[in-house]
Structure 1
Amino acid sequence: MTGSLITKKKIAKVFKKLVAEIGFEKVTIAKIMKESNMRRQTFYDYFQDKYDLADWIFRQEAIEKIEDNLAYEGWQFIVENLFVYFEENQVFYRRILTFEGQNSFQEYYTQHLKVLIHQVLVVKKQTDEGLEEGDRLFLEEFYANAFVSLTTKWIIDGCKIDSHRFAEQMKIAFLMGFEERQ
């Protein structure tokens, strides 16, 4: 692991801790770097602002659950791992999601879910020749936005349903949408 990745992860760990303790809006670069025992300028060597850091955390941690596993894991396994990750980090994401300011969590999540859904639809297309490009794009958009909306609600509500059960419900909803058209 390179020094820059170690530094980024250290900054991210402190940021997540502070967000969980005091909330996203009260976290400042100065607080992050003081807690990290690093110079303030070090932060700016890696990130533009705390929004950029929040985006990096999501890409680094959550997205690897999707894209790094696409080549060798089934989508059902990926969905379950993603919800386990969100449940483990629910306080951080709840604080990020309830902040009223700039927030790109949903945008990143939607983007990367489309990749996962595309994989499922490409496999489905091999067994269902009737799925046209426009229909596939619509389904990618529809399911990605539905997943993001339900995930956001689940996290904000405190992950009351166990992550494994929630993943199972999402998989069922997804599969029902792809049953043979009559």
Structure 2
Amino acid sequence: MIGSLITKKKIAKIFKKLVGQIGFEKVTIAKIMQESHMRRQTFYDYFQDKYELVDWIFQQEAIEKIEDNLAYEAWQTIVENLFIYFEENQLFYRRILQFEGQNSFQEYYTQHLKALINQVLVVKNRSEGELKESDRLFLEEFYANAFVSLTSKWIIGGCQVDSHRFAEQMKIAFLMGFEEKQ
């Protein structure tokens, strides 16, 4: 088990480096495995394709900052940690975000953000009463898409605003959106 995780991490590290150098579309399985000095078949022992590898990287590195901390961290801390991670890995994600085809990062990111937004709504509803499921689903979709859109623009723009400030702005947007209920 440990050996497989080490191998996956080595493949992921080489993949991230290549994506940063030549872009997502130009990275091939052959290039990844040649650079990592492993057999091509080893890649397929762990991943179906490079899309699954991107999902795995995001799951291992970023999603754990969301889902693994939902039970005990405030959502505001999770948001800040997520943006620090993106800022540290901005070259990789800038290249990934430029790809908008099937299995795009944006789709995957949106789905995982809904869990975070759901958590915010659950906490909010405890103090203000029950929210209809249709309204909750709408808010999850709305805020997840807004979050992904602004995050993508921020990363593609080179993270001009530092991660702490950007996280603060996103938190303000969430709080203002939840403050007034009609």
TM over 0.5: yes
- Decide whether aligned partners of structure 1 residues 95 and 38 sit closer, same or farther in structure 2, where only a CA change above 3 A counts: same
Cα deviation for residue 103 of structure 1 reads 4.0
Q: Which residue number in structure 2 is paired with residue 158 of structure 1?
A: 158
Q: Which digits, 9 at most, give the CA deviation of each residue in 1:61-94, with x for residues without a partner?
A: 1101100111111000000000011111110011
Q: Deviations over 1:5-39 (max 9, x none)?
A: 11101000000001101111111111111111111
User: Is 1:96 paired with 2:96?
Assistant: yes
1:81-131 alpha-carbon deviations (Å, 9 max, x no partner): 000111111100111111354442111111111101111111111111152
CA RMSD across the alignment: 1.3
List, as ranges, runs of 4+ consecutive aligned residues in structure 1 with deviation greater than 2 Å: 99-104
> Percent identity, aligned pairs only?
84
Matched, 1:108 2:86: no
Q: Unmatched 5+ residue regions in structure 2?
A: none
CA distance in 2, matches of 1:129, 1:101: 40
5+ residue gaps, structure 1: none
User: Match of 2:179, SS?
Assistant: coil
- In structure 2, what residue type is equivalent to 1:37? H
What does residue 51 of structure 2 align with? 51
In structure 1, the residue matched to 2:11 is 11
Q: In the aligned structure 1, how far is the partner of 2:101 from the partner of 2:141?
A: 25
Superposition map of 1:1-182 within 5 A: 2-129=2-129, 131-181=131-181
Q: Is the 8 A contact 1:76 1:171 kept in 2?
A: yes
**CA, structure 1 residues 35+24, in 2 after alignment: closer, same or farther (shift >3 Å)?**
same
Distance in 2 (alpha carbons) for counterparts of 1:26 and 1:98: 12
Moved more, 134-143 or 166-175: 134-143
Verify the 8 A CA contact 1:97 1:103 in the aligned structure 2. Answer: no
CA distance in 1, matches of 2:130, 2:67: 27
Q: Give the distance between the partners of 1:181 and 1:116, measured in 2 at CA.
A: 20
